[in-house]
Structure 1
Amino acid sequence: MTSPFSTTTPGLCGPLRQPRQMLADQTYDDHKSIHDDATAEKLGLRAGPIEGPTHFSQFDPLLFHVFGQAWFETGCISAHYQNMVVEGESVRAFVDLPAPGATFVRLRAEKADGTPVLTGTASVGDASQHPHELPQRIAKLRPPQGLVINRDLRVGQRGAVVEKIRMGFDQHMGDHYPFTLADKLKVITEPCDWYTAEGGKRSPWGRAIIPTEMISVLLGSTSAEAQLGGRKPAVGLFAGQEIRLIKGPLFVDQDYELEREIVALSESARTESVWVRTQVYEMPSRTLVAEMILNGATMKASYPNYEAEAKELGLA
């Protein structure tokens, strides 16, 4: 099949790209997010980082090259984010050469100087048959010893509501994502004919499809409705993410419903994490078409009462 991407990439090593920062004005819980430069600097970062799934776009041409149309129908990308990227830095995507007929590969992204950005896996078909990055990490988690920010949450807890969503080209996606799909398509690192209104008519599905990185935006735009976050105010970031298409693609101007569930809780020296699985149902048939697992890590230093409350709980 002829590639729908505007640039072709020989082999399994993509070109250096400079992804754009589009979340400087992001807000949640009435405060700026880690993508704001001033907020990031207060937490010891040099600038507001680019959101992790932005880098997923750089893998799409490579994985289409490996798997063809199936990548947009049953593709799964699972990644652990290693180092933040700020606007102006260059990033390159790599996909390991698969064995003939293989449906599973490892992948990674690096900065121009070799600094790792993310490590992960990708597949087509039944993703549960493969050792994907995030499920492997969840299986190795130790039970948290003393949560403060997330102490009111529990594994198995489900979202407070069934969320109703859709993404149009010019639809504002709320305070969490203060830009539109049309805005993103102007600066996306890997333009694709099938992402556009006209080009979508030429796609195998006869409709415009949502880019992989924008599936994260679609699913994240209503996440506050689920009420699966910890105590506030606090600043979080994406530490790992898996996007899995079951009966894809996801389409522009299509109605979906979301159901969420906490599948793990964890902690590190600097963060507390909530791992949430989001299931995506196409409406009105309520067909399960996609899933996302997100490791949302909250920085302990961003929670003003962390030390005092840890002492009250006997944790410090």
Structure 2
Amino acid sequence: MQAFDTQIDEADGWRAGPLRAPAQMLADQKYDGHKSIHDDSMAGDLGFNAGPIEGPTHFSQFDPLAVEAFGMDWFRTGCISCHFRAMVVEGERVRAFLKKEAEDFALIRMEKEDGTEVLKGTASLAGADRPSALRERIQTVTPPEPKIILRDVEVGMTLPRQTATMGPDEHMGDLYPFTLNEKLGKITEPSPLYRTSAEFGGPVIPMEMISVLAHHLPKGFPVRGPVVGLFADLEIALHDGPLIAGEPFEIEREVIALSGSRKTESAWIESRIYRPGAADPAATVLLNSASLKGSFDGYEEEAVEAA
């Protein structure tokens, strides 16, 4: 079975997919008891033109490039790891690029139609000699000073395993107000593997939807709020894949780093997705969950007091 029928071009060593206009599916997302940054009005209040499309949505455009570069092992031990650099709103068209550097390692980037860089990072298979983009990046981050939004969050905080599934018609809650089948109706790169797969024993959960599986549960960590958050960096890595729709999972989460910027405080959260009772995860998701300082009432006053 052919995984994708996406047209792929090549120039100067870079594989390139077609321009796509990904769909916005989070306009009705509820986050921390209020509308999220993906709502146009909330985004406008924070100085953005419109509610951005969720970052993991872009990962689907890299799947055909990665399968051509690495073969079907992409669905077993693939890892996509990136830093988001610009937001994309519905109606904008973007293109994915991949440059293979070794048999199991590649650079990736995504650009808007006008050349604006949307994200950059790496794609790789398990066992690659080089670290992924985020595993390298996380070695350089330092905690925010002072901590205001993340005052009560510490590195090493762990949430115990929680059960989770992603059935084809299972609504994924307030954070992700849609089903897998609804996503497949709008995904930029459809694949027959997402509907059924004899090779893998069932319908494969797309890479971008592994983020939904990892993050649809209540956040759990004591982040102060209300506050508006966004995905600043994201890595999805398969260790014993693929993940199959309807399969039972257990998800454990841990804060493995804290960082800050002029506009954000960030908790780096690793979600480990296990099959029930397994000692080793089938997949891991590393997220730089950035909270916007400007969305937290009284931030500047508390920062002055803490200085």
TM-score when normalising by structure 2: 0.95
* CA distance in structure 2 between the aligned counterparts of 1:201 and 1:189, rounded to whole angstroms: 19
* CA distance in structure 2 between the aligned counterparts of 1:60 and 1:71, rounded to whole angstroms: 8
CA positional deviation for 1:10: 4.1
Show CA shifts across 1:134-158 (max 9, x none).
1111111134321100011111111
Q: 1:297 aligns with which of 264, 277, 290?
A: 290
* 2:203 is the counterpart of 1:208: yes
User: CA separation of 1:287/1:135 partners in 2, compared to 1, >3 Å: closer, same or farther?
Assistant: closer
Residues 228-243 of structure 1 aligned to structure 2 (within 5 Å): 228-243=221-236
Show CA shifts across 1:185-205 (max 9, x none).
001000000001xxx234x21
Contiguous gaps of at least 5 residues in structure 2: none
Show CA shifts across 1:68-88 (max 9, x none).
110000000100000000000
- Residues 281, 287 of structure 1: 8 Å contact kept: yes
**Secondary structure class of the residue paired with 1:187:** coil
Residues 23-62 of structure 1 aligned to structure 2 (within 5 Å): 23-62=26-65
User: Partner of 2:155 in structure 1?
Assistant: 155
User: CA separation of 1:152/1:104 partners in 2, compared to 1, >3 Å: closer, same or farther?
Assistant: same
Matched residue type, 2:224:
R
What is the number of equivalent residue pairs in this alignment? Answer: 303
TM-score when normalising by structure 1: 0.93
User: CA separation of 1:184/1:229 partners in 2, compared to 1, >3 Å: closer, same or farther?
Assistant: farther
* CA distance in structure 1 between the aligned counterparts of 2:140 and 2:277, rounded to whole angstroms: 38
User: Partner of 2:167 in structure 1?
Assistant: 168
* 2:213 is the counterpart of 1:218: yes
Contiguous gaps of at least 5 residues in structure 1: none
* CA distance in structure 2 between the aligned counterparts of 1:40 and 1:143, rounded to whole angstroms: 26
* 2:307 is the counterpart of 1:311: no
CA positional deviation for 1:132: 1.2
- Residues 6, 193 of structure 1: 8 Å contact kept: no
**Secondary structure class of the residue paired with 1:98:** strand
CA positional deviation for 1:38: 0.3
* CA distance in structure 2 between the aligned counterparts of 1:288 and 1:246, rounded to whole angstroms: 7
* CA distance in structure 2 between the aligned counterparts of 1:219 and 1:8, rounded to whole angstroms: 30
CA positional deviation for 1:24: 0.2
* 2:144 is the counterpart of 1:144: yes
What fraction of aligned residue pairs are identical, expressed as a percent?
50
* CA distance in structure 2 between the aligned counterparts of 1:79 and 1:98, rounded to whole angstroms: 16
* CA distance in structure 2 between the aligned counterparts of 1:78 and 1:106, rounded to whole angstroms: 10
* CA distance in structure 2 between the aligned counterparts of 1:286 and 1:253, rounded to whole angstroms: 21
CA positional deviation for 1:50: 0.3
* 2:255 is the counterpart of 1:262: yes
* CA distance in structure 2 between the aligned counterparts of 1:119 and 1:69, rounded to whole angstroms: 23
Q: CA RMSD in A?
A: 1.4
| Structure showing the higher strand proportion among its residues | 2
Matched residue type, 2:164:
I
User: Partner of 1:21 in structure 2?
Assistant: 24
* CA distance in structure 1 between the aligned counterparts of 2:32 and 2:147, rounded to whole angstroms: 20
User: Partner of 1:80 in structure 2?
Assistant: 83
* CA distance in structure 2 between the aligned counterparts of 1:135 and 1:284, rounded to whole angstroms: 26
Answer with 30-39 or 132-141: which moved more: 132-141
- Residues 74, 126 of structure 1: 8 Å contact kept: no
* CA distance in structure 2 between the aligned counterparts of 1:229 and 1:86, rounded to whole angstroms: 30
CA positional deviation for 1:98: 3.5
User: Partner of 2:114 in structure 1?
Assistant: 113
